[in-house]
């Protein structure tokens, strides 16, 4: 099975987000960049499929040079090859442009049975790129996969939906996006880390893919401005240490009479 895994390079989920000077981006100072957590599940599954049989895993990331560390992390976790599509400064947060670039890279590299991505890239939080890539590559997709089994040129995938679980069958090649619960990603081994440092990363530009980044940027979502959510504070905090039952009664009264929510 030949897989490619789309890796988004995002701020670590423990990061404190501050506004940058540009007004529509975060302040990147001090941010630790990581593989988007859902992409880790996708990568782990692709590597397990390879280990269970045979195959090859390519990680692809679109972005500036910091994605090289993301790709090396992917290699350290078991990927065999890494591809950087350079650029991405003007198409930030623009799911359509990102999907068009990634779909073009997937077509150019060719020969994949499976395209994996996370169900969501934490950061832009769009949850769009996987399904968009599928449509642009004319492939079926299953999003939010919790379990996947392969055989006879098909995948049978389980996904959580509102109100239950769906079992979906699709022919390969197919796009799958990973949900938390699919697996428990491994930590990179020391040997893997050492090897990944020396590995070659193939690079291609958006122009190499026959696309124009400026035109892509104009066609999709633009971030006009960024703000921090209004700070809360001054909540009414009751002491429930000595008489928990009295505090509970008072809380219920406040929720009913003051907040009017129960």
Which residues in 51-110 contact other proteins (CB under 8 A)? 93-97, 99
From residue 134, give the alpha-carbon distance in Å to each of 1, 23, 78, 97, 128: 18, 33, 24, 14, 10
Q: Which range of residues in 50-58, 72-80, 138-146, 186-194 is near other proteins by CB under 8 A?
A: 138-146
Distance, CA of 105 to CA of 149 (rounded, Å): 26
252 binding other proteins? (CB under 8 A): yes
239 binding other proteins? (CB under 8 A): yes
Query: Which residue in 72, 134, 65, 66 sits closest to 103, CA to CA?
Result: 134
For residues 31 and 11, is the Cβ–Cβ distance under 8 A?
yes
27 binding other proteins? (CB under 8 A): no
For residues 176 and 58, is the Cβ–Cβ distance under 8 A?
no
Encoding tokens for residue 17?
Answer: 């987000």
Minimal distance, residue 70 CB to other proteins, in Å: 17
By beta-carbon proximity to other proteins, the closer residue of 4 and 95 is 95
Minimal distance, residue 195 CB to other proteins, in Å: 28
254 binding other proteins? (CB under 8 A): yes
Exposure class string for 179-215: b at 16+ Cβ within 10 A, else e = beebbebeebeeebeeebeeeebeebebeebebebee
Encoding tokens for residue 230?
Answer: 């209004």
Q: Which range of residues in 73-81, 191-199, 201-209, 228-236 is near other proteins by CB under 8 A?
A: 228-236
256 binding other proteins? (CB under 8 A): yes
- With CB under 8 A as the contact rule, the residue among 46, 71, 83, 136 that binds other proteins is 136
Total residues binding other proteins (CB under 8 A): 90
135 binding other proteins? (CB under 8 A): yes
203 binding other proteins? (CB under 8 A): no
By beta-carbon proximity to other proteins, the closer residue of 156 and 201 is 156
Residues between 139 and 168 that touch other proteins (CB under 8 A): 139-144, 156, 160-168
For residues 59 and 82, is the Cβ–Cβ distance under 8 A?
yes
By beta-carbon proximity to other proteins, the closer residue of 14 and 190 is 14
Q: Which range of residues in 8-16, 49-57, 64-72, 80-88 is near other proteins by CB under 8 A?
A: 8-16
Minimal distance, residue 112 CB to other proteins, in Å: 16
Q: Identify any residues that bridge with 35 across adjacent strands, giving them in sequence order.
A: 9
Spell out the residues 6+ positions from residue 119 whose beta carbon is closer than 8 angstroms to its own: 38, 127, 130, 143, 144, 145, 177, 178, 179
């Amino acid at each position: 099975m030949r897989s490619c895994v789309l890796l988004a390079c995002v701020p670590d989920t423990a990061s404190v987000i501050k506004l940058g000077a540009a007004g529509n981006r975060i302040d990147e100072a001090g941010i630790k960049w990581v593989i988007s957590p859902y992409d880790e599940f996708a990568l782990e599954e692709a590597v397990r499929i390879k280990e269970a049989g045979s195959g090859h895993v390519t990680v692809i990331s679109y972005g500036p040079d910091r994605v090289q560390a993301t790709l090396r992390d992917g290699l350290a976790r078991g990927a065999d090859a890494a591809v950087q599509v350079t650029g991405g400064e003007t198409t930030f947060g623009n799911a359509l442009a990102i999907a068009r670039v990634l779909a073009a890279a997937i077509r150019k590299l060719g020969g994949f049975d499976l395209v994996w991505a996370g169900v969501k890239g934490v950061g832009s939080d769009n949850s769009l790129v996987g399904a968009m890539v599928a449509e642009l590559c004319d492939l079926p997709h299953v999003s939010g996969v919790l379990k996947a089994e392969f055989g006879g040129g098909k995948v049978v995938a389980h996904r959580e939906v509102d109100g239950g679980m769906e079992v979906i069958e699709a022919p390969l090649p197919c796009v799958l996006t990973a949900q938390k619960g699919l697996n428990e990603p491994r930590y990179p081994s020391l040997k893997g880390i050492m090897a990944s440092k020396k590995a070659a990363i193939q690079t291609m530009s958006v122009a190499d893919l026959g696309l124009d980044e400026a035109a892509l940027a104009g066609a999709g979502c633009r971030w006009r401005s960024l703000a921090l959510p209004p700070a809360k504070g001054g909540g009414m905090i009751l002491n429930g240490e000595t008489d928990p039952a009295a505090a509970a009664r008072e809380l219920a009264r406040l929720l009913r009479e003051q907040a009017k929510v129960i």
